[in-house]
Copies of this chain bind each other. A is one copy, B any other.
Amino acid sequence: MANLEDIIYSAATYLLTTFAFLLAFAILRLQPINDRVYFPKWYLKGIRASPTHSRAIISKFVNMDFKTYIRLLSWMLAALRMPEPELIDHAGLDSVVYIRIYLMGLKIFVPITLLAFAVLVPVNWTAGALEQIKDLTFSDIDKLSISNIPPGSRRFWAHVAMSYVFTFWTLYVIYKEYKTTAILRLQFLASESHRPDHFTVLVRNIPPDPDESVTEHVEHFFCVNHPDHYLTHQVVYNANKLANLVAKKKSLQNWLTYYQNKYERNPLSRPTTKTGFWGLWGTRVDAIDFYTVEIGKLNEEEDKERERVISDPNAIVPVAFVSFKSRWGAAVCAQTQQTSNPTIWLTERAPEPRDVYWDNLAIPYVELTIRRLLMALGLFFLIFFFMIPIAIVQSMASIQGIEKVLPFLKPLIEIESVKSLIQGILPGIALKIFLIVLPIILMIMSKIEGFTSLSSLDRRSAAKYHLFLLVNVFVGSIITGTAMDQLKTFLNQSATEIPKTIGVSIPLKATFFITYIMVDGWAAIAAEILRLVPLIKFHLKNTFLVKTEQDRDQAMDPGGVDFAASEPRIQFYFLLGIVYAAVTPLLLPFIIVFFSFSYVVFRHQIINVYNQKYESGAAFWPDVHQRLIIGLVISQLLLLGLMSTKDAEELMPLLVTLPILTIWFHVFCKGRFESAFVKFPLQDAMVRDTLERATNPNLNLKLYLHDAYVHPVFKGGELERTHIINEEEAIMLVTTRRNAQKSHSK
Partner of A683, one of B339, B490, B667, B674: B339
Q: How far is the CA of A558 from the CA of B205 in the complex (A)?
A: 48
Given contacts A373-B664, A672-B343, contact A683 B225 (CB under 8 A): yes
Docked-complex contact A369 and B681, CB < 8 angstroms:
no
Q: A369-B664, A660-B377 are in contact. Are A337 and B225 (CB under 8 A)?
A: no
Q: Tell me whether A248 is interfacial, beta carbon within 8 Å.
A: no
A74-82, A462-470, A492-500, A598-606: which lies at the interface: A492-500
Specify the main secondary structure of chain A where it touches its partner: helix
Measured CA separation A68–B4 after assembly (Å): 98
Is A671 positioned at the interface, with any CB of B under 8 Å from its CB? yes
Any B CB within 8 A of the CB of A335: yes
Closest approach, in angstroms, between the C-beta of A675 and any C-beta of chain B? 4
What sequence of 0s and 1s flags, for each residue 342-354 of chain A, a beta carbon within 8 Å of any chain B beta carbon?
1101000000000
Using Cβ atoms and an 8 Å threshold, which residues of chain B touch A182? 340
Interface readout for A182-225 with B: 1 if CB under 8 Å, 0 if not?
10001000000000000000000000000000000000010011
Q: Report the separation of the CA atoms of residues A680 and B682 in the bound assembly, to the nearest whole angstrom.
A: 18
Cβ of A618 to closest chain B Cβ, rounded Å = 14
Does A383 touch B at the CB level, under 8 Å? no
Interface mask (A665-696 → B, CB under 8 Å = 1, otherwise 0): 00110011111100111111010000000000
User: A339–B496 Cα gap in the complex (Å)?
Assistant: 44
In the complex, chain A residues 275-313 whose Cβ is within 8 Å of any chain B Cβ:
none
B494 adjacent to A342 (CB under 8 Å): no
A628: Cβ under 8 A from any B Cβ: no
Query: Is A612 part of the binding interface, using a Cβ–Cβ cutoff of 8 Å?
Result: no
- How far, in angstroms, from A680 to B667 measured CA to CA in the complex? 26
Say yes or no: A676-B493 contact (C-beta < 8 A), given A365-B671, A373-B664.
no
Asked whether any CB of chain B lies closer than 8 Å to the CB of A658, the reply is no
> Is A228 in the interface zone, CB < 8 Å from B?
yes
> Are B340 and A683 in contact, CB atoms less than 8 angstroms apart?
yes
Instruction: Return the chain B residue nearest A661 by Cβ.
Output: B373
Question: Which one of B186, B491, B667 lies within 8 Å of A494 (CB-CB)?
Answer: B491
A698 lies within 8 A of chain B by Cβ? no
Instruction: Check if B496 sits within 8 Å of A494, measured CB to CB.
Output: no
A–B pairs, 10, beta carbons within 8 Å: A221-B683, A225-B682, A225-B683, A337-B680, A338-B683, A342-B681, A343-B671, A345-B683, A365-B672, A492-B497
Cβ of A332 within 8 Å of any chain B Cβ, yes or no, is yes
Which residue, of A345, A668, A679, has the highest number of chain B Cβ atoms within 10 A? A668
A331 close to B (CB within 8 Å)? yes
| B675→A342 contact, CB < 8 A | yes
Closest to A342 in B: B675
State in angstroms the CA–CA spacing of A672 and B339 once bound together. Answer: 12
In the complex, A660 Cα to B226 Cα: how many Å? 40
Contact residues in B for A667 (Cβ distance below 8 Å): 369, 372-373
**Is residue A336 within 8 Å, beta carbon to beta carbon, of the partner chain?**
yes
Assess whether B339 is in contact with A681, with CB atoms less than 8 Å apart. Answer: yes
A residues 96-119 touching B (CB-CB < 8 Å): none
- Complex formed: what's the CA distance from A64 to B342 in Å? 58
- Taken together as a complex, chains A and B put the C-alpha atoms of A682 and B329 apart, in Å, by 13
Residue count of chain A within 8 Å CB distance of chain B = 49
Closest to A368 in B: B671
Contact among B221, B336, B490, B672 for A335, CB-based, below 8 A = B336
Q: Are A369 and B336 in contact (CB under 8 A)?
A: no
Contact with B along A699-726 (1 / 0, CB 8 A): 0000000000000000000000000000
| Complex Cα gap A225–B53 (Å) | 58
* A-B residue pairs, 5 tightest by C-beta: A342-B675, A337-B679, A335-B336, A373-B664, A339-B683
B contact residues around A676 at 8 Å (CB): 340, 342
Given contacts A228-B228, A343-B672, A497-B494, contact A335 B335 (CB under 8 A): yes
Taking A225-B682, A336-B336, A492-B496 as given, write out 12 further A-B residue pairs in contact, using a Cβ cutoff of 8 Å, ordered by the A residue number. Answer: A182-B340, A221-B683, A224-B686, A335-B337, A337-B675, A337-B682, A342-B675, A365-B671, A369-B667, A373-B664, A494-B494, A495-B495
Q: Which residues of chain B are within 8 angstroms of A225 by Cβ–Cβ distance?
A: 682-683, 686
Q: How far is the CA of A681 from the CA of B93 in the complex (A)?
A: 35
Q: Which of A374-400 contact B (CB under 8 A)?
A: 377
A119-177 interface (Cβ within 8 A of B): none
Closest-CB distance, A391 to chain B (whole angstroms): 21
Q: Which residue of B lies closest to A667 (CB)?
A: B369
From the candidates B494, B671, B674, name the one contacting A369 in the complex (CB within 8 A): B671
- Which of B339, B369, B496 is close to A491, meaning CB atoms less than 8 Å apart? B496
Residue of B nearest to A685 (CB): B225
* Complex-state Cα separation, A337 to B373, whole angstroms: 31
Let me know if B682 and A338 touch, CB within 8 A: yes
Residues on B with beta carbons closer than 8 Å to the beta carbon of A224: 683, 686
Cα of A490 to Cα of B342 in the assembled complex, Å? 39
* Distance A342 CA – B182 CA, assembled complex (angstroms): 11
> Who on chain B is nearest to A347 by CB?
B682
Residue on B nearest A334 in the bound complex, by CB: B336
Knowing A369-B667, A369-B671, A668-B369 are in contact, say whether A681-B492 is a contact too (CB < 8 A): no
Measured CA separation A683–B337 after assembly (Å)? 8
Determine the chain B residues whose CB is within 8 A of the CB of A343 once the complex forms: 671-672
* Least Cβ–Cβ distance between A152 and chain B, in angstroms: 22
CA distance A333 to B674 in the complex (A): 19
Whether A331 and B340, one on each chain, are in contact in the complex, defined by CB atoms closer than 8 angstroms, is: no
Most buried by B among A336, A377, A668: A336
Smallest CB separation, A368 vs chain B (Å): 9
Which A652-667 residues have C-beta < 8 A from chain B? 660, 664, 667
Smallest Cβ-Cβ distance to A373: which chain B residue: B664
Tell me the minimal C-beta distance from A250 to chain B in angstroms: 41
CA distance A674 to B331 in the complex (A): 22
Query: In the complex, are the beta carbons of A682 and B369 less than 8 A apart?
Result: no
Q: Inside 8 A of A675's CB, which chain B residues have their CB?
A: 337, 342
**Contact among B494, B660, B679 for A336, CB-based, below 8 A:** B679
| CB of A723, distance to nearest CB on chain B (Å) | 27
A679 neighbours in B (Cβ, 8 Å)? 336-337, 342
Min Cβ gap A694→B in Å is 14
Kindly state the separation between the CA atoms of A682 and B225 in the bound complex, as whole angstroms. Answer: 7
Tell me if B340 and A684 are in contact (CB < 8 A): yes
- CB-based nearest B residue for A185: B340
Bound Cα distance A365, B671 (Å): 9
Known: A332-B332, A343-B671, A365-B671. A681 touches B494 (CB 8 A): no
Q: Which residues of B contact A668 (CB under 8 A)?
A: 366, 369
Contact partners of A493 in chain B: CB under 8 A: 494
Q: What residues of chain B lie closer than 8 Å to A186, measured between beta carbons?
A: 340
By CB atoms of chain B within 10 A, which of A224, A339, A340 has the most? A340
In the complex, are the beta carbons of B671 and A342 less than 8 A apart? yes
Q: List the B side residues contacting A373 at CB < 8 Å.
A: 660, 664, 667
Q: Which of A522-561 contact B (CB under 8 A)?
A: none
